Structure 1
Amino acid sequence: SSEISFSFKVFILFYKLSEARDKTLEGLNQAVEYKELKGKDPSMMELVKKVEQLELKITERENQLMEKELLVDQVTRLSNPIRDQVENCRDVGLLLAKKLNEVRTNITNTNNRLMGVTAELSMTQAMVLSQQQQIKEKELQVSSVPNHSQLIQRDSTKKLAEEEEWNQLPNGVYTTAEPRPNAYIPTNDPLPLPKPYGAHAPFKPSQPGANMRHIRKPAPEPMET
């Protein structure tokens, strides 16, 4: 069985080899296809002219390149001192920044100290005000205690006020009411002597109270003629 499989494989290989050989021979026998380009080839003189033109362009480009290189050299020579100045200014800027930071720290420290001093000052002022208030209260307490002369003067003034407030009527009665007139002086009498009113004494109305604002004054009616 192994010999049969081996012979079968050899047969297949020979078959594939023969097919490849046939295809190769067919390709060799076929004509090569190509596409013909239209136009004409330039002559030798034309080619020489084109080469000369290209050389001129190359020389122009080289000259332009040299000019640009010269410009670059000049710019670098001019920019070198400016670059040095920039570097120096950078160093100066760093120094200034350090000094500015130091000044800022000093300012913050000073502000903190000032805040502490103001707080202490406010506390001291509050203590002074409280002490002044206590001193005033003690002075008032001392001044409010009356002595013997003040007590005597107070009693005398009280008695005088009581005497002024109390009025004695003709019948001997004391009252705080305002005295009413019980006599009048006639106008036609040649002798201006007071005469008693008798039973028909004039009525003295009292002062109007706060409820008078609720009372409307009556409108007078027109009189008939």
Structure 2
Amino acid sequence: MEKIFADPVNESRTRDLGGKDPSPPELLKKIKQLEVELVQKEEKLLETDLLYNHVSRLTDRIHATAEDGKQDTLLLAKRTIELQKKIKDRTQKMRALVAELSMKQALAIKLQQEMRDKEQFLMTVSSRIDQGLPPPKETEKEWLKILRNEKMQKEAAEARAKQAAEEEQAAAPSCVRTTAERRPTAYIPDNEYSLPLPRPYGALAPFKPSESSSNTRYFRKSTAKPIEI
């Protein structure tokens, strides 16, 4: 087949497609028409490019606005949380104040009732004194209670003063602080030729035996056997 189509003498190797070639004026007309269409396509492409740029700018602006909106939303959310926390704290404080006010009102009512009772009691005592009668037994008990409280307060004050003096004395540098039981360091002679004045024991102080420990309960006490003669 290659030889057939490559042979220039063979007339059947070519096939006429038919039709005719356009003339030069037709070609020029066709070229002008294509140029016009190309210009129209370029104009349309330019318009599309301008529209694309405009849409891109609008899109960028919308994105920037959205980002700003996110920041504003975040700040607004934080502010809302802070305000809610403050409202909660204020509510708790208000409830505490209301509870304290209720307690104060109850205490005021109680004190007013006590004041009325005291006034009534004072009027009763005054009327009995005016009539030459002794005061009620409740008054005597109250008076004894007051005296007892004053005595207890006086004893407590004396005990505190004594304790403060002992602590001050113990804080002195020459004082030796100890918890041991005090032992006598002197004795009074019973000799008729000497004066009854205390004398120090010196180095021959009497021996004080220690207390028996709790272990002695495990030992049996010895019993003395009778002596047989």
Asked whether the two chains share a fold, i.e. TM above 0.5, the reply is no
TM-score with structure 1 setting the length: 0.37
Structure (1 or 2) with the larger CA radius of gyration: 1
